[in-house]
Amino acid sequence: MSLKLIPLSENPNDGDLPLQWSLELWGDHIPGYSRQDWINFYENGKKANFKKWDGDSKALIFIGKRGEEVVGAISLVDFDDLEEFRYLTPWVAAFIVNPQLRGKGIGSEMLTALEGKAKALEVKVLHLWTEDKSEFYQKRGYDLITEGTLEHLTFKILKKELSASAISGTGKVE
């Protein structure tokens, strides 16, 4: 069964599980970003306009589904938690896969599908930061830009240029 990314706004209840997984994994771990911020992020994502990318404090949350099963969530945002890097935009963010399904290729499928969605929105480059998954992203064409720390958090920032030939604009993985 193929994986599809569905805008959270199309079925707001589909965000409940990914929000729960996000709270369990990250909760208050990210400096300056609380559990309530996660809840607000998902609430705002339920109202987002998925038809265009205008870079105006936009956060598009997509729910990864196989059939009716919610398998994860991934977002395209024009802001990020790291103040000194806000000039970089847009960002892949809040990327989570059902903990019971990790290591089965779902994350790779979701990332590829998001890149397709971004391309369809005429996004030319994606950025992201990660604490411990830089190898995952580098294997998928992301390049390391820099490394840094914020309080107890050590991170790497990566980027990927989206080329017309590399990604289908449909954002679907068949």
Computed from CA positions of residues 173, 102, 98, 43, in that sequence, does the dihedral angle turn out positive or negative? negative
Q: Which is higher by pLDDT, 165 or 132?
A: 132
The structure tokens listed for 45 are 């994502």
The answer to whether residues 3 and 63 touch, using CB atoms and an 8 Å cutoff, is no
pLDDT digits (tens, 9 = 90+) for 25-74: 877 666 667 889 889 989 988 988 767 666 655 788 999 999 999 999 99
Mean pLDDT computed over 100-108 = 93
Q: Give the CA-trace dihedral at 39, 9, 13, 79, to 10 degrees.
A: -20
CATH 2.40.110.10 fits 3-161, yes or no: no
Mean pLDDT computed over 4-32 = 87
Q: Which is higher by pLDDT, 50 or 11?
A: 11
What's the pTM value of the predicted model, to 2 decimals?
A: 0.85
For the chain, domain boundaries: 3-161
